[in-house]
Chain A
Amino acid sequence: MPDTYILGIESSCDETAAAVVRSGEKMISNVVASQIATHKPYGGVVPELASREHLRAIVPVVRQALAESQQSYQSVDAIAVTQGPGLAGALLVGISYAKALAFALDKPLIAVNHLEGHIHAVLLEERQKGNRELAFPVLALVVSGGHTHLYLAEEKGAGWTYQNIGHTRDDAAGEAFDKVAKLLGLGYPGGPVIDRLSVHGDPKAVKFGAPQIKHRDRNDRGKPEDTRPHFDFSYSGMKTAVLRYVETHGLKTSIEARRKALAGIAKPKLEDYLANCDRETLDLVASFQRAVVDDLIAKTLAAAAACNAATLFVTGGVAANNELRQSFEREAAQQGLPVYFPSRPLSTDNAAMIAAAAYPKFLAGDFAAMDFSAEAGMRL
């Protein structure tokens, strides 16, 4: 099999990204135009801003990805693009551009599910390191601002199969980080700030109860085929507990002062955050992070045991969290389970994962029709 070069394009949310990956196992280039500076004043992703930024960035980002890989529009073998899930307007920018390229260049077009991409980010990097000994089935935790999903993944023949065995019932873990950060006047995005501040607080200072989830007996509801075990998540309760703590401990005034102080600093550094956070806030932040991390790990390990998973993947934006990585490695090792994370650049949204996930589809001839469209609520 000759080398296959796939150009990947990703624009499902914050990031406009393009990458060239060789045969699903070697990242040749990976370009991400981060839009966080644009979104910061709004405390989140706003769709039209996202679409507008994607439009502005997509051509230069693709050009740079090709230049860095010493490939050209003509030399790549296929174009891969994220179909969903994500913001419809943002997805359409990437899809329209990918279609135009594929049509003009007469190259195959491959549609990729963003969540599948996150799983392949781990595979890509392990293969790049020469690790071809992954044991199956793999249990993958995909955890980000929009997602908290558990998938059992297996390689079957030319393709991959995925079985969803758990998801959040309310807020995604990353969304809880963002909302708690906003609530405490720490700005957007919330994850990295909370991660960096948490090491300065006492994670045992504030008690958060583990989320209680009632798993209904699905057999009672006329779905006899659905007897798989389920490991669902819930982070709305922890977010509310932080709000309650703020109200009952009279923190509103100090939070408002912090919000104003940090808004006056162009690019706040860790020292700026620390200077504006009292001990009580640092303890609250550390305790919140510990509660989320403990719950993600406990659910994932319980699911791994129930499904006889042989390998764990932890991927998505929240996989960049230091405490999550360290605790996962420690606790998975105790269960004798190998756990793999993407490097930080491949944890957050990127296009290398899209190009990597497209490779098995390229081999299988699984190409997208020219009339496919964005699927904002796409499932895996």
Chain B
Amino acid sequence: MAMQEFTTHSAEETIALGRTLAPFLSSPGLVLLRGDLGAGKTTLVKGIAEAFQAASEEDVTSPTFTLIHEYRGPQTVLYHIDLYRIDTARELETLGLDDLMADNAILLIEWGEKFERFVKERKVDIALERVSENERRVRVMQG
């Protein structure tokens, strides 16, 4: 189990960190994005999606309302998933996330820690924490 810690000082730095982390995310894989409202989860995904050439940073927006956003890169398909509004296993089942898990897919899941199975199945765990107005601490755990 390897853990790395980063500190960013602006949204731009958080996006840049997303680009830096992208090579460490491999498909098929499940990535948990943890952090409170406004911690920078969607911001980090902007950088990850850009690195996979799956979407430009301005096209990555919050999936809270729509639940699943799909970003297709040349090699990899990213699914940006938000379980903020999903509370029960029955509701989760209706999303059919297992059907998304193809060989070339990476699932980036916000609020996934609400469900034990994702905590067990995750390949990478990224925890974002707000330190101050612009500063974020990002802990990345693999394995």
List the one stretch of B56-64, B103-111, B112-120 in contact with chain A. Answer: B56-64
Residues on the A chain within 8 Å of B62, using CB: 170-172, 175, 236
Taking a contact as CB atoms under 8 Å apart, the answer to whether A146 and B38 are in contact is no
Chain A CB within 8 A of B66 CB: yes
Taking CB atoms and an 8 Å cut-off, the chain A residues in 208-263 that contact chain B are 214, 216, 232, 236-237, 239-240, 243-244
Chain B CB within 8 A of A108 CB: no
Taking a contact as CB atoms under 8 Å apart, the answer to whether B70 and A240 are in contact is no
Taking a contact as CB atoms under 8 Å apart, the answer to whether B87 and A87 are in contact is no
Measured CB to CB, the closest approach of chain B to A54, in angstroms, equals: 13
Measured CB to CB, the closest approach of chain B to A175, in angstroms, equals: 5
Kindly state the separation between the CA atoms of A47 and B94 in the bound complex, as whole angstroms.
7
Taking a contact as CB atoms under 8 Å apart, the answer to whether B65 and A243 are in contact is no
Residues on the A chain within 8 Å of B36, using CB: 243
Kindly state the separation between the CA atoms of A47 and B95 in the bound complex, as whole angstroms.
7
Known A47-B94, A169-B58, A232-B58; judge A239-B38 contact (CB<8 A): yes
Chain B CB within 8 A of A307 CB: no
Measured CB to CB, the closest approach of chain A to B101, in angstroms, equals: 17
Residues on the B chain within 8 Å of A376, using CB: 66, 68, 70
Which of B12, B65, B84 touches A172 (beta carbons < 8 Å)? B65
Residues on the A chain within 8 Å of B91, using CB: 42, 46, 48-49
Measured CB to CB, the closest approach of chain B to A374, in angstroms, equals: 13
Measured CB to CB, the closest approach of chain A to B39, in angstroms, equals: 8
Residues on the A chain within 8 Å of B38, using CB: 236-237, 239-240, 243-244
Chain A CB within 8 A of B89 CB: no
Residues on the A chain within 8 Å of B65, using CB: 44-45, 145-146, 172, 174-175, 178
Chain B CB within 8 A of A179 CB: yes
Chain A CB within 8 A of B37 CB: yes
Chain B CB within 8 A of A168 CB: yes
Residues on the B chain within 8 Å of A178, using CB: 65
Kindly state the separation between the CA atoms of A376 and B96 in the bound complex, as whole angstroms.
15
Taking CB atoms and an 8 Å cut-off, the chain B residues in 52-79 that contact chain A are 58, 61-62, 64-70
Chain B CB within 8 A of A60 CB: no
Taking a contact as CB atoms under 8 Å apart, the answer to whether B64 and A179 are in contact is yes
Chain B CB within 8 A of A43 CB: yes
Measured CB to CB, the closest approach of chain A to B7, in angstroms, equals: 18
Taking a contact as CB atoms under 8 Å apart, the answer to whether A169 and B61 are in contact is yes
Residues on the B chain within 8 Å of A236, using CB: 38, 42, 62
Residues on the B chain within 8 Å of A239, using CB: 37-38
Taking CB atoms and an 8 Å cut-off, the chain B residues in 90-104 that contact chain A are 91, 94-95
Kindly state the separation between the CA atoms of A86 and B67 in the bound complex, as whole angstroms.
10
Chain A CB within 8 A of B85 CB: yes
Known A42-B85, A47-B94; judge A87-B37 contact (CB<8 A): no
Known A46-B94, A48-B94, A169-B58; judge A240-B66 contact (CB<8 A): no
Measured CB to CB, the closest approach of chain A to B137, in angstroms, equals: 16
Taking a contact as CB atoms under 8 Å apart, the answer to whether B37 and A183 are in contact is yes
Residues on the A chain within 8 Å of B95, using CB: 47
Q: Which residue of A is nearest B62, CB measured? A: A171
Residues on the A chain within 8 Å of B70, using CB: 376-377
Q: Name which of B12, B61, B67, B68 has the most chain A CB atoms within 10 A of its CB.
A: B61
Chain A CB within 8 A of B86 CB: yes
Residues on the B chain within 8 Å of A42, using CB: 85, 87, 91
Taking a contact as CB atoms under 8 Å apart, the answer to whether B85 and A46 are in contact is yes
Taking CB atoms and an 8 Å cut-off, the chain A residues in 142-200 that contact chain B are 145-146, 167-172, 174-175, 178-179, 183
Taking a contact as CB atoms under 8 Å apart, the answer to whether A87 and B66 are in contact is yes
Measured CB to CB, the closest approach of chain B to A4, in angstroms, equals: 33
Q: Which residue of B is nearest A236, CB measured? A: B38
Q: Which residue of B is nearest A215, CB measured? A: B58
- Given contact pairs A170-B62, A216-B58, A232-B58, enumerate 5 new A-B contacts (beta carbons under 8 Å): A46-B94, A171-B64, A179-B64, A236-B42, A239-B38
Closest CB pairs A-B (n = 8): A240-B38, A48-B94, A44-B85, A146-B65, A171-B62, A175-B65, A145-B65, A243-B37
Q: Which residues of B contact A (CB under 8 A)?
A: 12, 36-38, 42-43, 58, 61-62, 64-70, 84-87, 91, 94-95, 130
User: What are 28 A-B contacts with C-beta separation under 8 Å?
Assistant: A42-B85, A44-B64, A44-B84, A45-B65, A45-B85, A46-B85, A46-B86, A46-B91, A47-B67, A47-B94, A48-B91, A48-B94, A87-B66, A89-B94, A167-B58, A169-B58, A170-B62, A171-B61, A171-B62, A175-B64, A216-B58, A237-B38, A239-B37, A240-B130, A243-B36, A243-B38, A376-B66, A377-B69
